[in-house]
Structure 1
Amino acid sequence: MITATDSGTAPADSTATGDGRGAVILNGITKRYGDQVAVDDLSLSIQPGEFISLLGPSGCGKTTTLRMIAGFEHPDAGDIRISGTSVMNVPPYRRDVNTVFQAYALFPHLSVAENVAYGMQQRRTPKAEIRERVSSALDLVQMRRFGDRKPTQLSGGQQQRVALARALVNRPAVLLLDEPLGALDRQLREEMQLELKLLQSRLGITFVFVTHDQGEALSMSDRIAIMRAGRIEQLADADTVYARPTSAYVAAFVGQQNFFRGEVVESGAAVNSPHAVVRGAGTALAGSSQGEAAVRPEYISIEAADATGAASAANTASGELIGVAHLGDTMQYLVRLGDDQSLIVRRPTPDAPVLRTGDQVTCTWAAHHVLLFPNDDSAEQGGYVAPPTA
């Protein structure tokens, strides 16, 4: 099995991955639209039965990559192998993949069962086999009792299940999903995330899932490929990309971070920002004069400025509390450190201090929760979020 590396790219010779049914190997694929490079020399090995997400902001190349696997776009360079066979000259309808889009594209004049059966009817599959496979596919998505209904009589979540059944009924080696949950409301989207992962685990089909929603990727994926400007910035499991991002871009895109920018000091172990000297406990910044330190809101403690608990903290910043929000299981505080930066703090609701807007507060956090990176101004082009300002 290929192990994800910090670079997030698979070796050019991907034979170690194996050529089992459902394996997908992208080897140096590039796609240009005129002068614009949408996908740039991208290599990736996907294991049979793996749930992998391509995550990134609009324009990063994730959907183009998915469309090249599906055969809807053709790479200008490189090779794509599915189940051990190159598909470079294979049309979409002959590839052992199916695609589920955000727009479900169900035929409104056909029943649910007829929608699911449509592809097999075009292939002249025997009627008895069609009935059996349609029933099985609808059972998988818990929609058999709705088989006689028209799509307009279904909710958005039910229509999405039908679209999944239509894709799964052909028993593809790889299922490609292009932001299929984007049209659903939050509660239904979260329910469908669980159902999708359970369905994939039960079927053992390779899922390649495209999304710009980090929550979807974190909750479902075996691995996440975070994309930036047509390349993979980091490829790893959810725990790794969240706790050990390899760049400021990944740190900002996955979860939420507070960033402090400034001069690198203390032999590369700290960043001297205008509002705090932020010290880390990990790898020092070697050879960088300017850097940025990142700390997640949930790792920061907050208390009234006249409290005594901050005396021994490695990192401290003080300011005015300008906002308090109840998020259910957490309380969120917004602290203005100065005219150019604010700090977001989140504490579990049962343990959250009682503070009011206008209070002077002190924020503290441990050095081992700090991530240090070289300055990366260009990351703003790919979804990098600068510190919030008041």
Structure 2
Amino acid sequence: MTTATTIEAGGGAAPGAGTPHGEAPGTVVIDSVTKHYGDATAVDRLSLTIQPGEFISLLGPSGCGKTTTLRMIAGFEHPDAGDIRVSGRSVLGVPPYRRDVNTVFQAYALFPHMSVAENVAYGLQQKRTPKSEIRQRVVDALDLAQMRGFADRKPTQLSGGQQQRVALARALVNRPSVLLLDEPLGALDRQLREEMQLELKLLQSRLGITFVFVTHDQGEALSMSDRIAIMRSGRIEQLADADTVYARPASAYVAAFVGQQNFFRGTVVEGGAAVDSVHALVRGGAAELAVGEQGQAAVRPEFVEIAADAPDAAASGTSNTARGRLIGVSHLGETMQYLVQLGDDQSLIARRPSPEAPQLAVGDAVVCSWRAESVLLFPSDDAASAGGYVAPPTA
């Protein structure tokens, strides 16, 4: 995204100026926040500090508390305990329109009878902003969203991606220090969603505004975020950058949610876990499990080799092998995916780059193998569907 327009966020206050906690504009602090709905706990003593200009994603399945957390920052829900500060000031009891935030929802909620420019200007008009200032700020916001040429159109004359840009412009025109995005790309098709992911990240980098992005799509979170907060039952299971949550997940729950995993149960032995169901020795992982304990090993499909014959372990560097029968082959574009039945209750996914993928047919006897360093080890009672491959939830 290229434009000559800039929008200053939060009125340009000096970092920490006039704030009781000395926190810079754009800082969001969630301090031991709890939210109940009747007997259900949606958010459970959640604490999180979001830095100015950071792009952070709240990632998790439906019911994990991510949207409730966002709505409490926005002011649409109120915590039962704890505090929320935006730009150094507590927002408890402050109505949404008086907070230094704006929200973009999955349902863009544009006024169908108003033009694009009128939709963007609406919030400023409600604040009785001078007309000359409204005109310039609307132009600036539409330039940022690459929608200036559509200013006179009605929302019904726009595509889904264009409507999403208008919703962004309407939020940015208020010059918030924090922009909250509640699954804003969920209504778009895959190609447009991927394009908008790039544009959102470029826009956030250009403006330097704090973005808090809620999604259940781990691909979105991995591609855009500076940090990802993976949520589970109203708490943060892991908070880290994309590389860390993918390569070094803190738990089997995170490992299963971010990408796909093959899970195997076994008894921990010296240096690893013996997986009885496939008669393979799985080594590696950082879990501090004692010898004799039950554990579960995880290996990602892209780390699994598959062939008609067993590889030379010394030459390939693999120390784990499992024999099975191929029960499914899928072409995923850049990769080929193989589903292998290893036993009565054990299956495994392997993925190979298409140019290197072996020519195998359903029904073939195959051998799967993987390196020791590709394996993670977790306690057996950690939350993951051990005993087979696990796909990330989609809702």
Using the size of structure 2 for normalisation, the TM-score is: 0.90
- Identify the residue that residue 53 of structure 2 maps to in structure 1: 49
Displacement of 1:325 in angstroms is 1.1
CA offset digits 1:325-367 (Å, max 9, x no partner): 1111111111110121111000111111111111111111111
Is residue 204 from structure 1 mapped to residue 208 from structure 2 by the alignment? Answer: yes
For residues 109 and 209 of structure 1, what CA distance do their matches in structure 2 show? 29
**What residue in structure 1 maps to residue 355 of structure 2?**
350
RMSD: 1.7
Asked whether the 8 Å contact 1:264–1:285 carries over to 2, the reply is: no
The aligned amino acid for 1:357 is V
Q: Which amino acid aligns with 1:362?
A: V
**One-letter code aligned to 2:267:** E
Q: Return the alpha-carbon distance in structure 2 between the equivalents of residues 145 and 263 of structure 1.
A: 64
Distance in 1 (CA, whole Å) between partners of 2:185 and 2:341 is 36
Q: Does 1:176 align with 2:180?
A: yes
Structure 1 residue runs of 5 or longer lacking an equivalent are 1-14
Give, in angstroms, the shift of residue 289 of structure 1.
Answer: 1.6
8 Å CA contact 2:27–2:50 kept in 1: the answer is: yes
Whole-Å separation in 1 of the counterparts to 2:22 and 2:350:
46
- Whether the 8 Å contact between 2:108 and 2:164 is mirrored in structure 1 is yes
For residue 136 of structure 1, give the secondary structure of its aligned residue in structure 2.
helix
Tell me if 1:274 matches 2:256. no
Call closer, same or farther: CA 1:264–1:219 in 2, change over 3 Å: same
Q: Residue deviations 1:202-228, cap 9 Å, x none?
A: 000000000000000000000000000
| SS, match of residue 214 in structure 2 | strand
Q: Distance in 2 between matches of 1:363 and 1:89?
A: 58
Task: Give the superposition deviation at 1:271.
Answer: 3.7
How many equivalent residue pairs?
Answer: 368
Give me the TM-score of the superposition, normalised by structure 1. Answer: 0.91
Question: Which secondary structure state, in structure 2, belongs to the residue aligned with residue 184 of structure 1?
Answer: coil
140, 144, 151: which one pairs with 2:144?
140
Shift of 1:154: 0.3
SS in 2 for 1:39: strand
Secondary structure of 1:323's counterpart equals strand
Q: Is the 8 A contact 1:138 1:144 kept in 2?
A: yes
Within the alignment, does 1:155 sit opposite 2:176 as a pair? Answer: no
Q: Give the one of 326, 340, 345 matched to 1:340.
A: 345
Whether the 8 Å contact between 1:55 and 1:225 is mirrored in structure 2 is yes
1:375 aligns with: 380
Return the offset for 1:265: 2.2
**Does the residue aligned with 2:238 lie in a helix, a strand or coil?**
strand
Letter in 1 for 2:318: A
- For structure 2, which runs of at least 5 residues remain unmatched after alignment? 1-18, 391-395
**Which letter maps to 2:222?**
L
The DSSP-based 3-state class of the residue aligned with 1:132 is: helix
Name the % identity. 76
User: Counterpart in 2 of 1:286?
Assistant: 289
Q: Compute the displacement of 1:388 (Å).
A: 4.3
Residue 242 of structure 1 and its aligned partner are, at CA, apart by 0.1
Q: How does 1:287-366 map to 2 (within 5 A)?
A: 287=290, 289-305=293-309, 307-310=310-313, 313-366=318-371
Per-residue Cα deviation, 1:115-173 (whole angstroms, up to 9, x for no partner): 00000011111111111000000000100000000000000000000000000000001
Q: Distance in 2 between matches of 1:18 and 1:233?
A: 28
The residue number in structure 1 matching 2:6 is none
Give yes or no for contact 1:28–1:77 (8 Å, CA) kept in 2: yes
Distance 1:265 1:277, change over 3 A: farther
Q: Contact between 2:289 and 2:295, CA under 8 Å: does it hold in 1?
A: no
Matched, 1:387 2:357: no
Q: Verify the 8 A CA contact 1:53 1:208 in the aligned structure 2.
A: yes
Task: Summarize the alignment of residues 84-163 of structure 1 with structure 2, pairs less than 5 Å apart.
Answer: 84-163=88-167
1:95-117 Cα offsets, whole Å, 9 max, x none, are 00000000000000000000000
Matched, 1:223 2:227: yes
Residue 261 of structure 1, CA deviation: 1.1
Partner of residue 86, structure 2? 82
Secondary structure of the residue that 1:159 maps to in structure 2? helix
User: What is the CA distance between 1:264 and its match in structure 2?
Assistant: 2.0
Distance in 2 (alpha carbons) for counterparts of 1:162 and 1:385: 44
